[in-house]
Chain A
Amino acid sequence: MADTTHGGQTRRDFLYIAAGGMGAVGVGAMAWPFVSQMNPSQDVLALSSTEVDLSTIDVGQSVKVFWRGKPVFIRHRTAAEIAEAEGVPMGDLPDPQADSDRVQRAEWLILVGVCTHLGCIPIGEQGDYGGWFCPCHGSHYDISGRIRRGPAPLNLEVPEYVFLDDNRVRIG
């Protein structure tokens, strides 16, 4: 046909690219909802906070609460434990962070109880550092929930929380 030229661009090339471009935009726009639907739905997001009564947890005890399908460790630390956690030199930590940056009130240590290696749940009061030990691949956490030895790369995560009063905390 008349628009078959050599070397240069033709009307057909333009139409081809324009149509293909429109098609690609359309497919992309359609793909978005199909990807997005797998993200947490509104009701899941709405259930994302938990309130805990602290008055029943004695000094030296810890509890596990369920939050967003995961355990949260709440430990009522003793004065000795706090001193120990604060005394660790930064140089000994694979993921250096001061204990004071990990707590709002020093006696209450609140952690997401999910090993930062591959997601197992560490066991309390075990391991070589007086904190938690993950049995899956041998990660040791200290009494501030910081990684000390083993394959986990990071400290146990500190969730968002607020103290509603002296005896109640809301996680999330």
Chain B
Amino acid sequence: MSEFQTNSRVIKWIEYRLPIFSYVNEHLVVYPAPKNLNYAYNFGSLAGVMLVVQIVTGIVLAMHYTPHVDYAFDSVEHIMRDVNYGWLMRYMHANGASMFFIVVYIHIFRGLYYGSYKSPREVLWFLGIIILLLMMATAFMGYVLPWGQMSFWGATVITNLFSAIPLIGDSVVTWLWGGFSVDNPTLNRFFSLHYLLPFVLIGVVFLHLWALHHRKSNNPLGIDIKGPQDTIPFHPYYTVKDALGLAVFGVFFALFLFFMPNALGEPDNYIKADPLVTPAHIVPEWYFLPFYAILRSIPDKLGGVIAMFAAIFVLFVLPWLDTSRVRSATFRPIYKQMFWLFVIVCLVLGWCGAKPAEGIYIIVSRVATFLYFAFFGLLPFIGWFERPRPLPESINAAVLKSGGGGAMPEGAAAKAEERG
């Protein structure tokens, strides 16, 4: 790969003191990425863009928002009606949170499908789960800020989860609230933390990228990069691919933003919080629904809470649960089917979470919860008896064989590399 070179004396002067230009060059320009990355690999950069969108719109909202139980709801209406483009800022932020989760969930499923959590990328995977947990905490606290009915009762229900902890549960909840119910102190600390956590996220994202660039991207074949013939420089190949993905995703985002900005929200949240009346049917935002369904499917308070947290924390042990040495599901006939079943189970759980906890829905969510954990429980055994299909000898060989290199003879690819 080409070393960073420049004729500019200013750049040389800075570079000598802080090698920032060569650093950017190394990680965003000449960075060698597997040449076979498909569109499933766009979601990482999209998640990064969404984090920036949330932070920028969030900072704007915070300029007009008042974190006080008497004013919060009205200040959000003030944003919607009076602030110039306030409706745009708020809808971007509210829908942006949903977009962020869509992107991150697809990103995670991509990792599951191609075995990206396996050695040597376990730490990269852990950092991803930490990002998911931080996002969830951030989104939950953000949802409380407009101080509507769902804000208030969502906050009450979710903080009450901690009362399931034996012995100290009640004291923990009082501590979280800063009082004896969700009230002004709760709103103020949630606002403070909601502002803080996205910046913690930036830090974790940097670690995530550091781990990524240290061990390089996995790829749809799940085999290692064996040499320069297996890679292409990040710029222009993947900058352009990411830009195209961003444009298409932007259309999708705009569809919600401009044509159905409240489709993903709950109408009840346009009613000001009333600590004396609980809405008939409390549901969290859609991105929490599968976990909410798991919580409700267990007929025991502590058990439900444990199952819900376990549903996420089990991802931390995934690298050891999966005993197969083959990464990509493309070459794992049984795992591939299990993967798609798992996706369906997650969708079914999400559907159950949106339904009232009664009748058939309880049965369906119990079965789905069982299957959710069964996926992880079966993985060690699948790895033992599944017979993977033969792996290609290299990324380059597979690309050329599939005709992927047809439009670009080998020589041209090599030349592109030189040009960087």
Contact = CB atoms under 8 A, between A and B. Distances in A.
Interface of A: 1, 19, 23, 33-34, 36-39, 41-44
A141 to B, nearest CB: 35
Contacts of A19: 243
Q: Is the interface of A mostly helix, strand, loop or mixed?
A: helix
9 contacts: A1-B408, A1-B416, A33-B84, A37-B64, A37-B83, A37-B84, A37-B89, A42-B83, A43-B82
Contacts, number: 39
A43 B86 CA distance: 12
B412 interface: yes
Contact of A38 (B56, B63, B88, B408): B63
A37 B86 contact: yes
A41 B84 contact: yes
Interface string B403-418: 0000010001001100
Nearest to B84: A36
Nearest to B244: A19
A97 B119 CA distance: 81
B81 interface: yes
B78 interface: yes
B81 A33 contact: no
B85 interface: yes
Contact of A33 (B89, B243, B408, B412): B89
A42 B412 contact: no
Given A1-B415, A33-B88, 12 more contacts: A19-B243, A23-B243, A37-B60, A37-B63, A37-B83, A37-B86, A37-B89, A38-B63, A41-B83, A41-B84, A42-B83, A43-B78
B131 to A, nearest CB: 25
A41 B82 CA distance: 5
Contact of B412 (A1, A36, A44): A1
Contacts of A39: 84
Given A1-B412, A41-B78, A43-B78, A33 B63 contact: no
A89 to B, nearest CB: 47
Contacts of B416: 1
